[in-house]
């Protein structure tokens, strides 16, 4: 070993390796923008029914050269990012967060965190707005969003006045059963009654999400209350329901992929769309059945916001306008199989995906609710935390 370490060649080799690594990074920073379109070419190339961003936005975005995105790893289809880079010659620099609370902590500690695009949830939006860390959206720069995004999710409860956010996907946080183990014709399915009372059928093979607000929120929904309730009486009722259910809960786990695939779990509370993707891997027939309780459920919107620290907000507008082109949006939805508020993609989504991401009845979205400040701040949070503690004991 001594010889190996004393040998000058060893060190030259290690040094060379590190140098090569460093150089390959600097190299990867440069992206060939040779094929990138000019504004004229861009306008001319747009498919029918799509509108371009104004020239000002386009030029600012391209001049910025890079576009810093902060989102989940390995979720959205890669071709969306690659297509954008290729079309506009703007290099996307993507970072990923392990969860949204940690991402929020990062913005709190360093308000100048320079992301142009952050894919996040209403809770973060509320905090970021309070800390004055969000850039306002310039609606003149996103004509495709204006045209295709449904009215009720534009001016929505999570962003009154529609100033800071643009909706991408909508997750229905309800429950899923495995039809190989549970008779899907049970009269209580798809209501909440089955999840909260049907343990005789599912034999305690239930997994609930490991998130206080979501579990308690859906319990309130089952009782017919608002999931943002702060009424102690209503929350006490929810507590009683959960305490009664507790012996029948196998585990609290937000994404028990393996156990669900293995058939150890028969019924699971969570975002139903994730299980379509999972079911595709289970064999020719998807064993998972999404259940949308008629009383409504928790709705999880994924929102794009522009943190104040970003250097290229124009690129974010350009990207949003690009994303809302029906062809691109269809790519997104076919990839992630999530619900959405785009009104122009109906013919472009695969039939299977449509079946999964669309609740069986029209107008179902109105019965659902999004987690709002009353649930995650002040009295509401305190009451929920007390219930959660009892439940996890």
Partner 1 sequence: MKILNARRINTIVSMIGYLFVWAPIVVLAIFSFNASAYGVKWESLTIKWYVDLFHTPEIMQAVLRSLLIASITTIFATAIGTLAGYGLYKYKFAGRRFLRMSVLLPITVPYVIMAGALLVYFTRIVHIPLGYPAIIIAHISFSAPLAVFVTLGRMQRINWSLEEASVDLGANTLTTWRKVTIPLLLPAIFASAVLIFPWSFNDFTVTYFVAGVGTTTLPLYLFSMLEYSLKPVLINAISLIFIIMPILLIMLIYLSKARTKHGS
Count the residues of the shown chain that bind partner 1, applying the rule CB under 8 A: 48
In the bound state with partner 1, the residue whose beta carbon lies nearer, of 69 and 298, is: 69
For residue 343 the two structure tokens come to 């009104």
- Which of 125, 202, 12, 16 shows the shortest CA–CA distance to 372? 125
If one asks whether residue 181 binds partner 1 (CB under 8 A), the answer comes out as: no
Among positions 94-123, residues that touch partner 1 (CB under 8 A) are 94-99, 102, 105-106, 109-110, 112-115
If one asks whether residue 133 binds partner 1 (CB under 8 A), the answer comes out as: no
Among 8, 26, 27, 28, binds partner 1 (CB under 8 A): 28
Contact (Cβ atoms closer than 8 angstroms) between residue 316 and residue 308: no
Least gap, CB of 31 to partner 1 (angstroms): 12
Among 238, 303, 336, 357, binds partner 1 (CB under 8 A): 336
Residues 6+ apart with CB under 8 A from 389: none
In the bound state with partner 1, the residue whose beta carbon lies nearer, of 21 and 34, is: 21
Q: Please state whether 40 falls in left (phi above 0), alpha (psi between -120 and 50) or beta.
A: alpha
Least gap, CB of 2 to partner 1 (angstroms): 6
- Which residue stretch of 119-127, 139-147, 278-286, 352-360 sits at the interface with partner 1 (rule: CB under 8 A)? 278-286
The span from the CA of 218 to the CA of 214, in Å, is 6
Residues 6+ apart with CB under 8 A from 105: none
Q: What is the DSSP string of 311-334?
A: S-HHHHHHHHHHHTSHHHHHHHHH
The span from the CA of 78 to the CA of 66, in Å, is 17
- Which residue stretch of 20-28, 121-129, 185-193, 207-215 sits at the interface with partner 1 (rule: CB under 8 A)? 20-28
Least gap, CB of 70 to partner 1 (angstroms): 9
* Residues counted in the chain: 393
- Token pair 């429950």 is found at 175
If one asks whether residue 5 binds partner 1 (CB under 8 A), the answer comes out as: yes
Residues 238-267: x where in contact with partner 1 by CB under 8 A, - otherwise, as a string:
-----------------x-xx--xxx----
| Number of C-beta neighbours around residue 181 at 10 A | 15
In the bound state with partner 1, the residue whose beta carbon lies nearer, of 48 and 78, is: 78
If one asks whether residue 362 binds partner 1 (CB under 8 A), the answer comes out as: no
In the bound state with partner 1, the residue whose beta carbon lies nearer, of 238 and 298, is: 298
The span from the CA of 282 to the CA of 275, in Å, is 10
DSSP 3-state of 232: helix
If one asks whether residue 17 binds partner 1 (CB under 8 A), the answer comes out as: yes
Least gap, CB of 6 to partner 1 (angstroms): 8
Residues 6+ apart with CB under 8 A from 58: 39, 42, 52, 314, 318
Contact (Cβ atoms closer than 8 angstroms) between residue 268 and residue 275: yes
Give Cα separations from 53 to 84, 139, 206, 393 (angstroms): 14, 10, 48, 54
Among 43, 46, 93, 372, binds partner 1 (CB under 8 A): 93
- Which residue stretch of 16-24, 49-57, 349-357, 368-376 sits at the interface with partner 1 (rule: CB under 8 A)? 16-24
Residues forming the site for partner 1 (CB under 8 A)? 1-6, 14, 17-18, 21-22, 24-25, 28, 68, 72-75, 78, 93-99, 102, 105-106, 109-110, 112-115, 255, 257-258, 261-263, 274, 277-278, 280-281, 336
């Amino acid at each position: 070993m001594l010889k190996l370490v004393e040998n000058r060649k060893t060190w030259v080799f290690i040094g060379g390796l590190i140098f090569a690594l460093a150089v390959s990074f600097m190299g990867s920073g440069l992206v060939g923008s040779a094929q990138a379109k000019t504004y004229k070419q861009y306008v001319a190339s747009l498919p029918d029914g799509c509108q371009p961003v104004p020239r000002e936005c386009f030029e600012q975005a391209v001049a910025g050269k890079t576009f810093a995105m902060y989102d989940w790893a390995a979720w959205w289809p890669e071709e969306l990012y690659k297509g954008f880079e290729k079309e506009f010659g703007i290099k996307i620099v993507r970072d990923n967060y392990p969860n949204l609370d940690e991402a929020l902590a990062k913005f709190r500690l360093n308000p100048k965190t320079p992301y142009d695009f952050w894919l996040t949830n209403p809770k973060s939006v509320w905090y970021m707005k309070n800390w004055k860390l969000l850039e306002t959206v310039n609606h003149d720069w996103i004509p495709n969003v204006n045209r295709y995004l449904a009215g009720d999710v534009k001016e929505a409860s999570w962003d009154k006045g529609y100033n800071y956010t643009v909706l991408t996907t909508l997750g229905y946080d309800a429950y899923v059963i495995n039809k190989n183990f549970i008779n899907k014709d049970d009269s209580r399915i798809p209501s909440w009654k089955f999840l909260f009372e049907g343990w005789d059928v599912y034999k305690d093979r239930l997994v609930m999400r490991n998130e206080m607000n979501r579990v308690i929120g859906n319990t309130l929904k089952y009782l017919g209350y608002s999931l943002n309730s702060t009424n102690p009486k209503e929350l006490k009722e929810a507590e009683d329901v959960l305490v009664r259910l507790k012996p029948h809960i196998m585990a609290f786990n937000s994404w028990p992929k393996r156990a669900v695939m293995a058939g150890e779990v028969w019924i699971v509370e969570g975002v139903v769309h994730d299980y379509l993707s999972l079911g595709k891997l289970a064999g020719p027939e998807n064993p998972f059945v999404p259940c949308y309780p008629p009383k409504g459920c928790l709705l999880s919107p994924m929102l794009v916001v522009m943190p104040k620290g970003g250097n290229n907000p124009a690129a974010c507008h350009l990207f949003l306008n690009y994303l809302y082109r029906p062809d691109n949006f269809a790519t997104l939805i076919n990839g992630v199989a999530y619900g959405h508020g785009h009104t122009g993609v109906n013919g472009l989504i695969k039939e299977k995906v449509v079946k999964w991401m669309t609740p069986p009845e029209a107008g179902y979205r109105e019965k659902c609710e999004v987690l709002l400040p009353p649930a995650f701040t002040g009295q509401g949070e305190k009451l929920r935390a007390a219930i959660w503690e009892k439940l996890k004991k």
